[in-house]
Amino acid sequence: LTLALSVLKHQKVTHLFIQKFSISWGSEKLTERYPISFVEFLENNKQNFKNIYENGPPLSQCKQQGGCDGTIFYEIDYSGVEIIPLS
């Protein structure tokens, strides 16, 4: 978590935008999709990745269906994390 937040802060990222149709629900490699493990990482770290907007079915329903339409906006909160200096 600390490394991910450090890299995001170094890149000056303040928000993440996930389109639900672009989530890879399986174990495909080298696709132009977000792996579900990445989205679950965001969901499991709500103190740092605040879901500020979501439309479409919830992720659990999307997973059961094998995909869906919708979007999720996360705001990144860097407070309470010791950021690793990157150069």
Confidence (pLDDT) at 32 = 83
Distances (CA, A) of 4 to 17, 26, 63: 16, 23, 24
6-53 tens-digit pLDDT: 999 999 999 999 999 999 988 767 678 888 999 999 999 999 999 999
57-77 tens-digit pLDDT: 999 999 999 899 999 999 999
> Residue 38: which of 58, 22, 56, 14 has the closest Cα?
22
Confidence (pLDDT) at 76 = 98
SS3 44: helix
Confidence (pLDDT) at 30 = 64
Confidence (pLDDT) at 19 = 96
